[in-house]
Structure 1
Amino acid sequence: MKSVVITGATSGIGMATALELSARGFQIIGTARTTEGAEKLAAAAAERGVELHTILLDVTDPDSCRTAMADITDMTDGGPWALVNNAGIAVPGAFEDVCENDAWAVLETNLLGTARMTRLALPAMRRRGEGRIVQMSSVAGLVAMPLNGWYCAGKHALEALTDALRREIAGSGVHVSLIEPGFIDTPMLTDGLRHLPAHTRYETAYAAMRRLVARRGPLGPEVVARTVAKALTAPVPRRRYGIGHEAALGRLARLAPPAAVDLTMRTVLRLNRS
């Protein structure tokens, strides 16, 4: 049975992925920052009728990462076959509305935490001559969207770092894939929209963002889980898996003239006036 570690597995995409892969016969180790989160994941697995393991992990804490990976190594006879770096946070807001501490928290979790876990998982995969690493990116890693700049910055950096890693370990038997969803109906999305900054010059734009997401009708996390399964089961996985029409639009935006992209985004988000 192939073992898969999934970080941030207590809700949203992480939980959906843990349940989907467990049902497909993988040995799943889902990480949680708290005991309550671990219990929540275990309860969801029991309700679904699948088995998985939980382990406490805070990807922002290097000691926690090392301790967790040591325990995972014991559980998996030398190290996991695959790692799904899903743990992430979002602190949406315009550039002027996000403080430095919040910006650092986004980068620490979404970028450095992913790098820590990847670095710890790679040696065992190299020794075995096979393995999979799946990085949870976003359409935000393809195009910088207003009112979510720090999240985009972290995902852009993750895309670049993952491209470099993939080229560095080519021939090792370890495959690396990026998952690039658009809007997905998860607690991270709903909480982010609910806690947008108030009483700022961008209030009209924030209201427009809420309406845009509501009109789009975000996909459920299960579609992302099924895509992760594709990346883990394909004989030769793709480098990137886009999900949803936002991902398709993001790829087009990278090819379009920047002036046209700027004008479109400013118009949609009511940013044409200072």
Structure 2
Amino acid sequence: MTKSVVVTGATGGIGLAVALELAGSGFDVIGTARTEEKAERLRESAERAEVGVRTVLLDVADATSTVRAFTEIAQMTDGGPWAVVNNAGIAQPGAIEDVDDEGVRAQLETNLVAPARIARLVLPQMRRRRDGRIVNISSLSGRVSSPFVGWYCASKQGLAAVSNALRIETAGFGVKVVLIEPGSFGTDIWERSMARMPPRKTSAYQDSYEVADEVLRRAKTLPDPAPVAHAVRTALSVPRPRPRYLVGNDARAGAALDLLAPTALSDYAKGVATGLRTPPERVTRALARLTRRHGPR
């Protein structure tokens, strides 16, 4: 029997790459979308890739929508899916003090509460079958905190904690829980997040937000998220998946450096990178000399 997999937030970026990868590998993929228009675009993408993807409308931040969608999915999958890939997410940018309660709740509801809610809905049938998998898409931010994305980091580090506990709780029932931790890949999550940026003119961090704009512009040239989709396929295909998959050289390097570097040094480097700290003048002069001598690289 073909194994059914639900991929939330399957209409773009990592979610779309995962849905198409799994469908091409023989899984029965059900991709979720917030609107019928987006669902139609997902089906068109699947048709162009010459694979089949079924769709269900779902807003993961809405409990009623989630129950309704997974009731429909249960009918489509003989009681419930074999696996779920919790990919749907949002990013709330801004300094911790600039983000209001509404923004905090939306961030945590979508990235943390929603995957736990979905787990509650699918686990009873997985336990009865004594087989199933839950794959949660986290991020390097689930290990490493950075300024101006603190609430996003909180949601991903919370997801890592929940995933770790859930993995142990469900192991005896034949259910495997896996965390995927990508580095930087080309998705539109940060571009979409700019609509959630707190007001800048009244912020003490206005200058640093200008630096964030430049980082966002560079993000448009990031690599395709195919390696993340490959990692999800591996997590669903091998008999004994690893608890965590760090995906991307930057993710592996970033996690190692944050673990090994003294906290004060790590804090200083992050502060310089985001415009919160200014390097000593001698360092700035040395970099300027190198640039004049060798040119930009």
Q: 1:174 is matched by which residue type in structure 2? A: V
- Equivalent in 260, 268, 279 of residue 263 of structure 1: 268
Q: 1:50 and 1:156 mapped to 2: Cα distance?
A: 34
The Cα of 1:119 is off from its aligned counterpart by 1.1
Tell me whether 1:245 sits opposite 2:249 in the alignment: yes
Aligned match of 1:157: 158
Q: 1:72 and 1:159 mapped to 2: Cα distance?
A: 26
Q: Pick closer, same or farther for the CA change 1:213–1:245 going to 2, 3 Å.
A: farther
Give the 5 Å matches for 1:191-270.
191-192=192-193, 196-197=197-198, 198-199=200-201, 200-212=203-215, 217-248=221-252, 249-270=254-275
Q: Pick closer, same or farther for the CA change 1:93–1:211 going to 2, 3 Å.
A: same
The Cα of 1:254 is off from its aligned counterpart by 2.7
Aligned match of 2:86: 85
The Cα of 1:17 is off from its aligned counterpart by 0.7
Q: 2:196 and 2:68 mapped to 1: Cα distance?
A: 33
Q: 1:103 is matched by which residue type in structure 2? A: V
The Cα of 1:209 is off from its aligned counterpart by 3.3
Q: 2:79 and 2:193 mapped to 1: Cα distance?
A: 38
Kept in 2: contact 1:111–1:157 (CA 8 A)? yes
Unmatched 5+ residue regions in structure 2? 279-297
Q: 1:270 and 1:263 mapped to 2: Cα distance?
A: 11
- State the Cα RMSD in Å: 1.7
1:213-235 deviation line (CA, Å, top 9, x unaligned): 65575221222111111111112
Other structure's SS at 2:173 match: coil
The Cα of 1:194 is off from its aligned counterpart by 7.5
Give the ranges of 4+ consecutive aligned residues of structure 1 lying more than 6 Å apart after TM superposition.
none
The Cα of 1:124 is off from its aligned counterpart by 1.1
Tell me whether 1:21 sits opposite 2:22 in the alignment: yes
Other structure's SS at 1:170 match: helix
The Cα of 1:207 is off from its aligned counterpart by 3.1
Aligned match of 1:167: 168
Tell me whether 1:177 sits opposite 2:207 in the alignment: no
Kept in 1: contact 2:5–2:27 (CA 8 A)? yes
Tell me how many residue pairs correspond in the alignment: 273
The percentage of aligned residue pairs carrying the same residue is 48
Other structure's SS at 2:156 match: helix
Q: 1:39 is matched by which residue type in structure 2? A: E
Aligned match of 1:189: 190
TM-score, structure 2 length as denominator?
0.87
Aligned match of 1:66: 67
TM-score, structure 1 length as denominator?
0.94
Which structure would you say has the larger Rg?
A: 2
The Cα of 1:266 is off from its aligned counterpart by 0.7
Q: 1:215 and 1:38 mapped to 2: Cα distance?
A: 29
Per mean C-alpha deviation after superposition, the further-off stretch among 209-218 and 108-117 is 209-218
Q: 1:225 and 1:206 mapped to 2: Cα distance?
A: 31
Q: 1:201 and 1:104 mapped to 2: Cα distance?
A: 23
Q: 1:80 and 1:20 mapped to 2: Cα distance?
A: 17
Q: 1:71 and 1:157 mapped to 2: Cα distance?
A: 29
Aligned match of 2:103: 102
Per mean C-alpha deviation after superposition, the further-off stretch among 112-121 and 250-259 is 250-259
Unmatched 5+ residue regions in structure 1? none
1:5-25 deviation line (CA, Å, top 9, x unaligned): 011111111111111111111
Q: 1:256 is matched by which residue type in structure 2? A: A
Other structure's SS at 1:171 match: helix
Q: 2:95 and 2:32 mapped to 1: Cα distance?
A: 31
The Cα of 1:169 is off from its aligned counterpart by 1.3
Q: 1:203 and 1:223 mapped to 2: Cα distance?
A: 35
